[in-house]
Amino acid sequence: MSVQRVKLTKSFIDQLALVPAIYRDSELIGFAVRVNSSYKTYIVEKKVLGKSVRSTLGLHGNITLAQARELAREKLLQMSQGINPNDEKKKKVSDEDDRLAIEKLKPTMKEAFDNYLSIRDLKSRTISDYTIVIEKYLSDWKSMKLDDVSRRMIQDKHFELSKNSKAQANLAMRVFRAVYNFSLEHYLDYNDKPLLSAYNPVKTLSARKAWNKIKRRKSHINEEQLPDRVRAIFQYEDRGQHFETNRDFFTNNNTYRFTQGSV
């Protein structure tokens, strides 16, 4: 391969035949164009710690001559400081490989939800309600990586769902929030650090005070309905009844003054 030193200009480089050769710039020492049988490449050459180093800047046509000169100045300065730009490239490639590997470890929303259900001890009714949320209200997010769901997407989805049901919109966001918080602790990288951003995007609804305010239902139980209602409360075994929370609240509420023996 022949080597020549010339003043590099765009017109000069454009007219070069695709015959292997290196044309070194006469103005910026260390900057050159390398011609191959199928393309032309901007390069820099300089000794780094006593060793000759050649590094590619980019293809002629993909970057301009002016851009190549600017890059060459930066690389030549680094090389004069003992930095091998090829080592820097290898590190960037390695970092990118690590980033892609970590990206593959991140769960999709569906994967995270399935894992959530497999580990959390939930009641059958809760599982049914949550599954409806994922399969119906958030179905377009199922194949997305969990942390690809942005704050704006949360805002837009909550607003969209609220048009049909404010309560369901709130529920959908609470389910997503629960799955995301769960995943922070259950999806870790090789250094035992969370794969996902620590910021749960559903927090945007609180920051913007965008949660729907749901009016409490106000209804009265007729006297003849009381026995059936009380019996149902005492016999119901779901939704935390092993703590007897609902039963105690119902029987101690001042609105209803009756005792268990009156049923």
More confident residue, 259 or 53: 53
> Rounded to an integer, what distance in angstroms lies between the CA atom of residue 55 and that of residue 45?
7
Residues 27, 74 contacting (CB under 8 angstroms): no
- Say what the pLDDT of residue 94 is: 62
Mean pLDDT for the stretch of residues 37-63: 91
The strand pair at 51-59 and 2-6 is best described as unpaired
Which pLDDT band, with edges at 50, 70 and 90, does 90 fall under?
A: confident
- Say what the pLDDT of residue 1 is: 57
Sheet holding 31-35, edge to edge: 2-6, 21-25, 31-35, 40-48, 51-59
Specify which residues 46 forms β-bridges with. Answer: 53
- Say what the pLDDT of residue 226 is: 63
Which pLDDT band, with edges at 50, 70 and 90, does 189 fall under?
A: confident
Q: What is the pTM of this model?
A: 0.52
- Say what the pLDDT of residue 64 is: 94
Angle at 166 between CA 140 and CA 241, to 5 degrees: 95
Q: Does domain 109-207 have CATH number 1.10.150?
A: yes
Which pLDDT band, with edges at 50, 70 and 90, does 221 fall under?
A: low
Architecture of domain 2-104: 2-Layer Sandwich (3.30)
Model pLDDT for residues 103-139, shown as the tens digit of each residue = 888 999 999 999 999 999 999 999 999 999 999 999 9
Alpha carbon 50 to its chain's center: 44
> Rounded to an integer, what distance in angstroms lies between the CA atom of residue 212 and that of residue 216?
12
The strand pair at 40-48 and 51-59 is best described as antiparallel
The CATH 1.10.150 domain(s) of the chain lie at: 109-207
- Say what the pLDDT of residue 238 is: 56
The CATH 3.30.160.390 domain(s) of the chain lie at: 2-104
pLDDT above 70 as % of the chain: 77
Mean pLDDT for the stretch of residues 196-222: 86
Q: Which residues neighbour 45 within 8 Å (Cβ) at sequence distance 6 or greater?
A: 24, 30, 32, 52, 53, 54, 55
Mean pLDDT for the stretch of residues 136-156: 96
- Say what the pLDDT of residue 255 is: 47
Residue 258 has pLDDT above 60, yes or no: no
Q: Smallest Cα–Cα separation from 71: which of 41, 101, 98, 91?
A: 41
